[in-house]
């Protein structure tokens, strides 16, 4: 059992690059949400966390906590509504790959965009990429794709011309992402969703919690690993 303060650390996305986290954390539409890079990532469903770690914790946020609630069990698959109009049925990992491929097509610099060390570097490269793309003719773009050995639909590429267009694809309202304070969250029927908070929280090993009968006396829990 212990207290955890997510804001004291900067979290990086597991198993993928941080592109969508940087976009979401900088987008004004997400300004009321806990920043993903400064949050404890949890699930509303205890069993869902079993595959991610050996030790599972019940998370009890302080009462003034804000809780972000994804529309699906995993944040990665919670943006299909927003992404579908442009890219079809993809998840956030595919979205990251599209940004990498497009940057390589435009610049022929495979590694320079793949691993930016900071959000400032990421946004600089993204703005430079869009500036070059918007000045490029379709024929030039076809030649670039041929040189990069990557085929993408030109009409699809042309639909996204700026960082603001990327923000629109990831908009929380468009993708049914919700925000509650902790007292509201406890009253909601949220059972199979990824959730996150940047609040100071009490973490209790679920085995210990069961032994001391720390069940639902304190309300709905979040779970992490």
Q: Which of 124, 143, 169 is the last residue of a domain?
A: 169
- State the pLDDT confidence band at 66, using cuts at 50, 70 and 90: very high
Tell me, what's the pLDDT at 6? 77
Instruction: Report the C-alpha gap between 82 and 91 in whole angstroms.
Output: 10
Q: Quick one: 156 and 200 in the same domain?
A: no
| pLDDT greater than 60 at residue 63 | yes
Query: Is 22 part of any domain?
Result: no
Tell me, what's the pLDDT at 50? 61
Element containing residue 2 per DSSP (H, E): strand 2-4
As a whole number, mean pLDDT of residues 210-214 equals 58
Q: Quick one: 10 and 54 in the same domain?
A: yes
Q: Quick one: 37 and 118 in the same domain?
A: no
Q: How many domains are contained in the chain?
A: 2
Q: Report percent pLDDT > 90 for the chain.
A: 48
Q: Quick one: 87 and 161 in the same domain?
A: yes
- Determine whether 207 is exposed, middle or buried from the number of CB atoms within 10 Å of its CB (0-12, 13-18, 19+): exposed
Tell me, what's the pLDDT at 199? 92
Supply the range of the domain harboring residue 55.
2-14+31-74+173-224
Q: Which of 169, 196, 215 is the last residue of a domain?
A: 169
What pLDDT digit, counting tens, does each position of 137-167 carry? Answer: 999 999 999 988 888 999 999 999 999 999 9
Average pLDDT, the chain: 84
Tell me, what's the pLDDT at 225? 45
Q: Quick one: 165 and 55 in the same domain?
A: no
Tell me, what's the pLDDT at 1? 59
Q: Which of 129, 151, 169 is the last residue of a domain?
A: 169
Tell me, what's the pLDDT at 21? 93
Q: Quick one: 94 and 145 in the same domain?
A: yes
Residues facing residue 197 across a β-bridge: 40
| Burial state string for 27-61 with b = 16 or more CB within 10 A and e = fewer than 16 | beebeebbbbbbbbbbbbbeebbeeeeeebbbbbb
Look up the pTM and report it.
0.86
Q: In the 8-state DSSP scheme, what is residue 73?
A: S
Query: What distance, in Å, lies between the first and last C-alpha atoms of the chain?
Result: 13
């Amino acid at each position: 059992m212990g207290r955890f303060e997510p804001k004291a650390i900067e979290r990086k996305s597991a198993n993928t690059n941080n592109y969508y986290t940087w976009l979401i954390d900088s987008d004004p539409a997400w300004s009321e949400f806990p920043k993903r890079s400064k949050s404890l990532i949890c699930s509303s469903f205890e069993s869902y966390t079993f595959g991610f770690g050996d030790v599972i914790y019940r998370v009890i946020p302080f009462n003034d906590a804000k809780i972000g609630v994804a529309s699906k069990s995993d944040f990665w698959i919670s943006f299909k509504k927003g992404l579908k109009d442009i890219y079809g049925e993809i998840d956030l990992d595919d979205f990251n790959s599209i940004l990498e491929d497009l940057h390589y097509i435009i610049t022929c610099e495979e590694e320079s965009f793949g691993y930016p060390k900071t959000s400032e570097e990421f946004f600089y490269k993204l703005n430079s990429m869009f500036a070059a793309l918007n000045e490029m003719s379709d024929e030039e773009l076809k030649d670039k794709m041929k040189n990069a050995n990557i085929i993408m639909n030109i009409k699809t590429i042309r639909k996204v011309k700026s960082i603001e267009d990327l923000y629109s694809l990831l908009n929380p309202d468009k993708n049914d992402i919700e925000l509650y304070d902790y007292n509201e969250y406890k009253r909601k029927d949220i059972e199979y969703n990824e959730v996150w908070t940047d609040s100071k929280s009490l973490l209790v090993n679920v085995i210990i919690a069961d032994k001391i009968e720390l069940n639902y006396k304190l309300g709905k829990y979040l779970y992490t690993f």
